Structure 1
Amino acid sequence: MLNKNEIGAFLLRVVLGIVFLAHGAAKFQGGIENIVGWFDSIGLLGGLAYIVATIELVGGIALILGIGTRIVSALIGIIMIGAIFTVQLAAGFLDGYAYDLVLLMIAVYLVLNGSKMLSLGQLFFKGQENNKPFAKSA
């Protein structure tokens, strides 16, 4: 029987992966140098643009495949916190940080709960307790 919670986590994982794959690809396709310049213009270290774009692109692929879901989601969560506080907060809720807040909460959910359904990570680490970070060990 299918577990409704696992189906939900799978859907959240794949959608978050698709969103960040698209954002990361757009940063590289549009000219990462432009993103570096924009980061500089808002007072961030320009080189950080390479890290953010790479996490978005590679992390998006990893989420879709179900590899390192908790770690990738944590990194995406950090990016979303940064985006909210450096750019979106000043624009207000609807015009600014509402979308980023939703993405942040999806990432937090995946950090806390993981996602094993159709996950390559589950195949590689089957039987290990890596999918239960808060489980007590004997």
Structure 2
Amino acid sequence: MIKHTWVQTLLRVVLGVIFMAHGISKFQMGLVNVEGWFSSIGVPGFMAYVAAIIELVGGAMLILGLFTRVVSALFVVLMLGAIVTVKLSVGLLGNNETAGYELDLALMMISVYLLAEGPGSLSVDRFIFKKRSVQ
């Protein structure tokens, strides 16, 4: 039970840090530039803003364990969109120019796990909703 709690917490926090870093990166690049890139690959430009906010705010929320299942579901949708629109055509491992979808798939599967299992007992969700996490 203790191992499960720590593994769940580590997965949640590390996933949150990764997504938060990606969100910060989008803001640092300039959302207008990201919007242009999204448009160039056939994704509506406004989705750059949506993705950046979900990554940044959602990442912070995951670190805290706040609304973990909702954020995880958003991350699943985000990663599925990234795989289908950008990465699928270059394959799992990519090619000499572009990375494949292996990282996106791993991040999506961690999100699926958190969606199914919840945040664990070391989370704000547990204190707010006063529920014991399923172990």
Alignment TM-score, normalising by the size of structure 2: 0.91
The DSSP-based 3-state class of the residue aligned with 1:115 is coil
Residue 122 of structure 1 deviates from its aligned partner by: 1.1
User: 2:29 matched to 1:30?
Assistant: yes
SS of corresponding position for 2:66: coil
Q: 1:115 to 1:127 in 2, by over 3 A?
A: closer
Note the aligned Cα RMSD (angstroms).
Answer: 1.4
The alpha-carbon deviation at position 7 of structure 1 amounts to 1.4
C-alpha separation in 1, matches of 2:131 and 2:77: 29
Normalised TM-score (structure 1)? 0.89
The answer on 1:105 being equivalent to 2:109 is: yes
Where in structure 2 are there 5+ consecutive unaligned residues?
Answer: 95-99
- Quote the sequence identity (%): 52
Provide the residue aligned with 1:135 in structure 2. none
The alpha carbon displacement at 1:43 in A equals: 0.6
Q: Provide runs of 4+ in structure 1 moved above 3 Å.
A: none
Q: Which amino acid aligns with 2:40?
A: S
The alpha carbon displacement at 1:85 in A equals: 0.6
Code of the aligned partner of 2:121: M
Alpha-carbon shift at residue 47 of structure 1 (Å): 0.4
1:66-81 paired onto structure 2 within 5 Å:
66-81=65-80
1:91 match: 90
Give the counterpart letter for 1:87 in structure 2: V
Deviations 1:62-111, CA, capped at 9 Å, x for gaps: 00000000000000010000000100111111121111000000000000
Separation in 1, partners of 2:118, 2:54: 18
Find the aligned partners of 2:90 and 2:101 in 1 and give their Cα distance.
7
- Between 1:87-96 and 1:53-62, the stretch displaced more is 87-96
How far the C-alpha of 1:44 sits from its partner, in A, is 0.8
Q: How far apart are the structure 2 equivalents of 1:29 and 1:122?
A: 33
